[in-house]
Structure 1
Amino acid sequence: MKKKPPFILHLLFTIYAWIVGLFFLFYFFFIGFPLSILRGYNNNYPLLRKLIQVFAFFFSPIRISYHPDFDPKAPYLLVQNHVNILDAFLAAKISPNAICGIMHKWQFSIPVYGWLMSMSKGIPVDPKRIDNFERMSQIAAQRKDEGYSIISFPEGGRSLNGSLKPFKKGIFLTAQKSGYPIVPIATKGNFYINRKGSYMMWPHPIEVQVGKPRIIPQDLTRAEFEKFIADIRNEMDAFIQNHE
């Protein structure tokens, strides 16, 4: 159990962090967004990634370990544990290749945020559509052909205690159908920077393990498919639990 920082210092750092974060969003929307329209998101991604590294983590050193088989230029479907609102920024720090996200359709209607997700080639999820899975897989295959990696959070929501939640199967089915290699990304330490239900921020070191890329064979039985998911989850969980 981590000791809580003094409240006044915690509050002051939180105010500072949000001011810096708002400055970053201002730059992203008024400069990064127009540049992405003019030059294309893929071409503008290296600049955006550098800005994220400067602003997003507020004195929190990040140590990333990449599997030798990981190709920084290849498109992957990245599966990452989810603990706070900074996880997507962390994914951009991790992935040298331009990334897009998979998110609920309603999120594209949020002012500013929705526009940014559309600009970055986000893939909408609409559970009300009968053809939702087929449509997701088709768009994912298109993103793969365009050279984008996809960031996903297979838990389906943020963890309340930093531990790994059960995985949902949808993203793995999408990877199988679209031909994306799966890359597990396990992160540790970002839970102490911010957590679900709180706006407070505090610096903390982050450790990241980027795993071996894996293709999901098309001919897996149901049991083999579930074992594939379980193996990915167990690998991520082992890293998280061993770095408490």
Structure 2
Amino acid sequence: MPAPGHQGVPVTAAVVSLYMWTMGILGIGLVLIAGIVMSYLSPPRSWDPWFKRMLRVWFRILFIRIVTEGTEKIRKDRTYVFMSNHVSLFDVPVLAACIPVFVRGVEADRQFKWPVYGFAVKRFGNIPIDRSSVHASISSIRRAVRKLREGTSIVIMPEGHRTLDGRMRPFKKLPFHLVRESGCDLVPVGLSGLFQLKAKQSWLIRPTRIKVKFGNPVPAGEIREMSVEAVSERTRDAIRSLIERP
């Protein structure tokens, strides 16, 4: 799938994108700052429903319509590892707004150094993953497993990087060591429409419809009986089947 180009951008598309960037940065900045303030007043789990609503309001301001499917498969009394394809800058807020249980993200450690965002995700309890060495990676996995065993679901994008052409990249092995060690069910999630919204190599943002589709949870008992490679392949096939092509 070719990415939107940079040449000959229509004036309307440029104006719309400038609006989206301006309102997007201002809006998400306000939401994150509000979340930081709330994190000093009460635990994130207590205000998570409010935070999800604020993210959905932000998307409506940007004329982005989000449709979810399969949320009835997610039990509120269970802890899960959610895995999705990685498409756009908008993936994280989309998942944060749509996953119907309290969830924290596993993100590259460099993102924790970004202004405002990095401080916010630290306060929210997200988990940095350091791929610089095997020892650092194992430490990140253990921290994520502890959080899962404490009853907090985790979301991770096993590709590690955003797609360049709309197709999924190869999966990293680390997330599947995590899910096998955690003893939690794995929920595949397919994100559709995000490449059309904002491709990695284009500055244009196009208001569009986004689909978030949750697959059937893979039981922890089945995962324990499978190799890391088999879990990865099964998850990849499941996510691919959930993605809707334009």
State the TM-score, normalized to the length of structure 2: 0.87
Match of 1:157 among 153, 161, 173: 161
**3-12 or 174-183, larger mean C-alpha shift:** 3-12
Preserved contact between residue 189 and residue 242 of structure 2 (Cα < 8 Å)? no
Deviation of 1:2 (Å): 9.2
Question: Paired residue for 1:174?
Answer: 178
Preserved contact between residue 183 and residue 211 of structure 1 (Cα < 8 Å)? yes
Preserved contact between residue 10 and residue 200 of structure 1 (Cα < 8 Å)? yes
Give the 4+ runs in structure 1 shifted more than 6 A.
Answer: 1-6
Q: Deviations over 1:21-58 (max 9, x none)?
A: 22223323432211122112111211111111111362
Match of 1:11 among 14, 22, 25: 14
SS in 2 for 1:206: strand
Gaps spanning 5+ residues in structure 2: where? none
SS in 1 for 2:154: strand
Match of 1:78 among 73, 82, 107: 82
Deviation of 1:92 (Å): 1.2
**Which aligned pairs between 1:72-221 and structure 2 lie closer than 5 A?**
72-217=76-221, 219-220=224-225
SS in 2 for 1:192: helix
AA aligned opposite 1:122: N
Deviation of 1:236 (Å): 1.7
Deviation of 1:166 (Å): 1.8
**109-118 or 4-13, larger mean C-alpha shift:** 4-13
Match of 1:59 among 57, 60, 63: 63
Deviation of 1:144 (Å): 1.7
Preserved contact between residue 176 and residue 232 of structure 2 (Cα < 8 Å)? yes
Gaps spanning 5+ residues in structure 1: where? none
Preserved contact between residue 45 and residue 98 of structure 1 (Cα < 8 Å)? yes
Q: Deviations over 1:71-113 (max 9, x none)?
A: 1453311101011100001101221222221122232222212
Aligned pairs, how many? 241
Instruction: Measure the CA separation in 2 of the matches of 1:216 and 1:176.
Output: 7
Give the share of equivalent positions with the same residue, in percent: 25
Instruction: Measure the CA separation in 2 of the matches of 1:219 and 1:144.
Output: 16
State the TM-score, normalized to the length of structure 1: 0.88
Instruction: Measure the CA separation in 2 of the matches of 1:180 and 1:125.
Output: 19
Preserved contact between residue 84 and residue 188 of structure 2 (Cα < 8 Å)? yes
